[in-house]
Amino acid sequence: MKHIFVADDERTIRELIKKYLEKEGYKVTLFEDGQNVVSEYRRLVPDLLVLDITMPGMDGLELCKELRKITDIPIIFVSARDEEFDRILGLELGGDDYLAKPFSPRELVVRIKNIFKRLEKNTIPKDSRERIKDIIIYFDRRYVEKDGEELKLTTKEYDLLEFLVRNRNLPFNREQLVEKIWGYDYMGDSRIIDDLVKRIRKKLSEMGSQVEVTTVWGFGYRIDG
């Protein structure tokens, strides 16, 4: 049984999310703030976190920053502030998805299911890897390196990079990429692809990589190699 942590300072939101997730067969642990999440993560090791950004004490962004020091567990942010800054910062700190309040609990369930489906796929041969320019992607381990140094990526950053590398030299528009990375049921803003591309570009640049995510003006993105 998958175990999900939900941290939100609004009791009604917590209880509503719990109701829908338990109906789908998930085990749910609730938190009214971020204070005890890290210690409880170490003790219970959940499979996914749903974090409110604006909580008293340690907010969702600070909590994500702390968790990313010890785990790459999937994190979905929820927030009453549907602002680009929050969305980009959440992705920058290692979040995998973002939902603005008020949101449909059913949509949250769909996004959680899609994340688990992707993580549980095991159709890649054990030795499968691919080199593109100066980086190597190990598909079985979801691991990317350049000259022996790991390129640290969040779940969705890796998914997007892998997809573009596997389909190198082919352009894809935002809607196509959203469908491939999040699935047919995704109901969010396709601009989230732009946010992911910014993060990937920054990380590749900081490592001095020759790999580039190219903008196809008026259409979308591709990787050449």
How do the domains of the chain map onto residue ranges? 3-120, 129-223
Domains 3-120 and 129-223 share a fold: no
- pLDDT by 10-residue block (mean), the chain, 225 residues: 94 95 96 90 93 88 88 88 66 81 91 85 63 92 92 90 93 89 66 89 95 93 93
Query: In angstroms, rounded to a whole number, what is the distance separating the alpha carbons of residues 13 and 7?
Result: 10
Query: The pTM is what?
Result: 0.64
Which CATH number applies to 129-223: 3.40.630.30, 1.10.3720.10, 3.40.50.720, 1.10.10.10?
1.10.10.10
Closest CA to 30 of 1, 55, 6, 63: 6
Q: What is the pLDDT of residue 114?
A: 86
For domain 3-120, give the fold: Rossmann fold (3.40.50)
Residue type, 143: Y
Which long-range CB contacts under 8 A does 85-89 form with residues at least 24 apart? 86/53, 87/192, 87/195, 88/195, 88/198, 89/61
Rounded CA-CA distance 51/56 in Å is: 12
- Check residue 90 and give its pLDDT: 74
Residues comprising the chain, all counted: 225
The sheet with strand 143-146 has its strands ordered as: 129-132, 135-138, 143-146, 149-150
How many percent of the chain have pLDDT more than 90?
52
